[in-house]
Amino acid sequence: MNTQQHTVSRRDFIRISAFAGGGLVLGFNLFSSCSPQQGEGVIYDLNAFVKIDTNGAITLMNPNPEIGQGVKTALPMLVAEELDVDWKAVKVEQAGLDTEKYRRQIAGGSGSIRDSWESFRKAGATARQMLINAAAATWGVAPESCTTEKGQVVHADSGKKLGYGKLVEQAATMEVPADAAVKSITSFAIIGQWIPNVDNRAIVTGQYKYGIDTKREGMKYAALVRPPAFGQTLKSYDDTEAMQQQGVEKVLRIDNKIAVLGRSTWEVMQGAKKIKAEWEDGPTMESTADYLRNFRETVAKRPAGNPQRKDGDVQRAYQSGGTKVFEAVYEAPFLAHNTMEPMNFFADVRADGVELYGPIQTPERTRTTVAKLVDMPEEKVTVMMTRMGGGFGRRLMSDFVEEATLVSKAAGVPVNLIWSREDDMGGGYYRPMCTYRYKAAVDADGRLTAWQHQSVGTTGSPARAGSFPAGAVPNLQVDAQEYKTPVTTAPWRGPIHNFIAFSEQSFFDEVAHAVGKDPVAFRLEVLDQAKQQPTGELEYDPDRFAGVIKKAAEMAGWGASKGPNIFQGIAAQYSFNSYVAQVAEVEKRDDGKLKIKKIYCAVDCGIVVNKSGAENVVEGGIIDGIGHAMYPELTLTRGKPDQVNFNTYRMIRMAEVPEIDIQFIENDIAPTGLGEPGLPPAGPAVANAAFAATGVRLRTQPFIKSGLFA
């Protein structure tokens, strides 16, 4: 996932807003093409985010893709705060891809709020200033003597008031002020509140349309038959039976796949099952056992050189007198994303352009890819993002959009290409499979003096050089190696963090127990070391990191006995610029089996924009983290996924969900990532609690295979 950080300078913003509003009347009449409606006014764009109707109605645009992370509510909140409007009276609309108006229309890297915090508030403040200037000009008073009050400009001295709708026509002709001030944090009225999802009514009544619901005149549904195993190629196929399936109209070969088109989803999926295809194996048709063996052998060898990070000299530290050295190997399986809404996309490829409509986290990159694919200039390709039934990183990839494009092009009709669950789970782009070897040294004084991390996995780099305890240890080495495979992998919620946190936080716990230190106290000690005597680059703030650990420990009553059968474990992770610590509490039942009872979670993500959304994604992240650490794995037999539906791939369900208590650290730091950071600590917190309860160290996921859990 894109973890790159952008700083938004005011110049960036002015360029954007000047383009979008820039003193020109960009207003248009929405109803000019249909018969005029009673009481409806004319709508003006004050900038790319704010539309105001002369009848007073206010519409805010959400440019980023909504995958369930809540940006369609949270981003417009930033604008509304500064525009000074009544949130309940505001309407929010989803914008399509428009790179002239917007920047970074991506759902990924927990970056939407981080990247928009300044610019979106500025957009609201600028529009507000334009409305004030318009009112001041109307009344012949100084703009400084005017203020605003929930959708109207007020002149206190004269008691005059005018609603934004009455002012917008004039405001739209005014120069865009470059210096509109944003509010101070203490005067926020919308930011920081508990604001429900803007689409909630359409959602609970089943009216909201997802990509999979798209149906257009002349459109065909399409299903694809793809290689059953990674690395296979299509040799030949027979579609006789498929063509006899009711509702199937056409069968086409698309590269290495076969497209079945027809009038309904179920019928084309049935048709796809009736295709008799012959596939040819590639040179490597590996199984999970092969990967595991290979990976273990790789990390047992000396690293190949070119470490990602090297501070001091770990080898020397291991040899130092009185030093204790510890070592362990951790493993993480492939995991499917399993968005609840399977991959799908609408594509209409015509001679004069391409229309793309559906669930995608990366519309801009997708447009570029598709334009190349059909050999048309990018301006000929339009992309509209629908609300998505989950993303988790899967929809950063655009393979299914490319497929829909090729099918539409080949068939000459608009298509909605829909993957079955089997296609979706068996179709790749998994969370990479990785193996890690850790080694650490603690000197005679109980100080952590060396930390070594050597990894191999089916991804470019399975390691993160700056991950805890990097910066706190005088001798540190990180080596990572990619293992090439035909199995496709992709970012998966909390990329790399999701498996690094498990191994690193568990191994740290191992070391703490081995030297007889309390895992919380030992973490704080090491963070203090990072603060007092940092080594090399330090990517996290030790105080904020320690802050969440202390908070979670305090919430959990760490160290105090909660009864003979209750055990706790802690884990903490810094990711996407946010700090999260979690204490997991497990209960040992009479039969000796463990049950996860409760998670205490402390989060420092700076200012919380939407209390409801923030709590929702952190809570979801915790359960997601537990679920995927506990239950599923995607295994392969000669390149073929063994699990392709939820009957064999176990997802966490309601019965397994523990009680959860979340607290956010209150501060006035600009907001940082939140969609992902809640997930990584959950698995290791559970593993560490399981160790406390049983003395058994979990080093392989899923945990359920250990037999420790009920």
Instruction: Point out which residues bind another protein (CB under 8 A).
Output: 67-70, 196-197, 199-201, 203-210, 212-213, 215, 221, 246-247, 263-267, 269, 338-342, 387-392, 418, 420-421, 612, 616-617, 619-624, 627, 645-647, 651-655, 657, 660
SS3 content of the chain, % helix, strand, coil (to 5): 35, 25, 40
Residue 465 per-residue DSSP state: T
Considering the complex, state which of residue 204 and residue 514 has its C-beta at the smaller distance from another protein: 204
Q: Tell which positions 30-59 bind ligand FES, by CB under 6 A.
A: none
Distance between CA 620 and CA 479 in Å, rounded?
32
Considering the complex, state which of residue 46 and residue 269 has its C-beta at the smaller distance from another protein: 269
CA-to-CA separations, 201 to 90, 118, 610, in angstroms, rounded: 15, 30, 18
Distance between CA 613 and CA 620 in Å, rounded?
10
Q: Which of the listed partners (another protein, ligand FES, none) does 341 bind, with a CB threshold of 5 to 8 Å by partner kind?
A: another protein
Q: What minimum distance in Å lies between the beta carbon of 204 and another protein?
A: 4
Interface with ligand FES, residue 675, by CB under 6 A: no
Q: What is Dmax (Cα atoms) for the chain?
A: 88
Q: What minimum distance in Å lies between the beta carbon of 646 and ligand FES?
A: 7
Q: Which of the listed partners (another protein, ligand FES, none) does 28 bind, with a CB threshold of 5 to 8 Å by partner kind?
A: none
Q: What minimum distance in Å lies between the beta carbon of 571 and ligand FES?
A: 25
Single-letter amino acid, residue 693? A
Q: How many residues bind ligand FES (CB under 6 A)?
A: 3
For residue 205, the tally of other CB atoms under 10 A from its CB is: 8
Q: What minimum distance in Å lies between the beta carbon of 636 and ligand FES?
A: 24
With a CB cutoff of 8 Å and minimum separation 6, the contacts of 187 are none
CB 429 within 8 A of CB 337: yes
Interface with ligand FES, residue 202, by CB under 6 A: no
Distance between CA 177 and CA 134 in Å, rounded?
12
Interface with ligand FES, residue 670, by CB under 6 A: no
Q: Which of the listed partners (ligand FES, another protein, none) does 82 bind, with a CB threshold of 5 to 8 Å by partner kind?
A: none
The region, left, alpha or beta by phi > 0 then psi within -120 to 50, assigned to residue 39 is left
Considering the complex, state which of residue 386 and residue 672 has its C-beta at the smaller distance from ligand FES: 386
Q: Concatenated DSSP letters for 325-365?
A: EEEEEEEE-BB----SS--EEEEEEETTEEEEEE--S-HHH
Dihedral through CA 263, CA 268, CA 271, CA 272, nearest 10? 150
Considering the complex, state which of residue 301 and residue 653 has its C-beta at the smaller distance from another protein: 653
Considering the complex, state which of residue 69 and residue 452 has its C-beta at the smaller distance from another protein: 69
For residue 587, the tally of other CB atoms under 10 A from its CB is: 19
Q: Which of the listed partners (another protein, ligand FES, none) does 12 bind, with a CB threshold of 5 to 8 Å by partner kind?
A: none
Q: What minimum distance in Å lies between the beta carbon of 340 and another protein?
A: 4
Could you tell me the two tokens for 217?
Answer: 């005149």
CB 657 within 8 A of CB 553: no
Single-letter amino acid, residue 665? I
Dihedral through CA 604, CA 607, CA 609, CA 615, nearest 10? 20
Q: Which of the listed partners (ligand FES, another protein, none) does 333 bind, with a CB threshold of 5 to 8 Å by partner kind?
A: none
Helix (H) or strand (E) holding 436: strand 434-442
CA-based R_g, the chain, Å: 28
Considering the complex, state which of residue 193 and residue 265 has its C-beta at the smaller distance from ligand FES: 265
Q: What minimum distance in Å lies between the beta carbon of 630 and another protein?
A: 12
Interface with ligand FES, residue 143, by CB under 6 A: no
Q: Tell which positions 312-371 bind ligand FES, by CB under 6 A.
A: 340
Q: What minimum distance in Å lies between the beta carbon of 491 and another protein?
A: 16
Distance between CA 300 and CA 296 in Å, rounded?
6
Q: Which of the listed partners (ligand FES, another protein, none) does 196 bind, with a CB threshold of 5 to 8 Å by partner kind?
A: another protein
Considering the complex, state which of residue 72 and residue 437 has its C-beta at the smaller distance from ligand FES: 72
Q: What minimum distance in Å lies between the beta carbon of 421 and ligand FES?
A: 8
Considering the complex, state which of residue 48 and residue 268 has its C-beta at the smaller distance from another protein: 268
Considering the complex, state which of residue 35 and residue 647 has its C-beta at the smaller distance from ligand FES: 647
Q: Which of the listed partners (another protein, ligand FES, none) does 204 bind, with a CB threshold of 5 to 8 Å by partner kind?
A: another protein
Alpha helices (H) in 140-239, listed in sequence order:
164-171, 200-204
Single-letter amino acid, residue 325? V
With a CB cutoff of 8 Å and minimum separation 6, the contacts of 381 are 353, 354, 356, 367, 370, 371, 374
Q: Which of the listed partners (another protein, ligand FES, none) does 351 bind, with a CB threshold of 5 to 8 Å by partner kind?
A: none
Could you tell me the two tokens for 282?
Answer: 């590639």
Distance between CA 25 and CA 697 in Å, rounded?
66
Q: Tell which positions 62-91 bind ligand FES, by CB under 6 A.
A: 68
Q: What minimum distance in Å lies between the beta carbon of 435 and another protein?
A: 27
Distance of CA 274 to the CA centre of its chain: 37
Q: What minimum distance in Å lies between the beta carbon of 359 and ligand FES?
A: 12
**Residue nearest ligand FES, Cβ-based:** 340
Provide the mask over 372-391, with x wherever binding to ligand FES is found by CB under 6 A and - wherever it is not.
Answer: ------------------x-
Helix (H) or strand (E) holding 138: helix 112-139
Q: What minimum distance in Å lies between the beta carbon of 394 and another protein?
A: 11
Q: What minimum distance in Å lies between the beta carbon of 100 and another protein?
A: 29
Q: Which of the listed partners (another protein, ligand FES, none) does 69 bind, with a CB threshold of 5 to 8 Å by partner kind?
A: another protein
Q: What minimum distance in Å lies between the beta carbon of 46 and another protein?
A: 29
Can the peptide bond before residue 469 be classed as cis, meaning omega within 30 degrees of 0?
yes
Binding site for ligand FES (CB under 6 A): 68, 340, 390
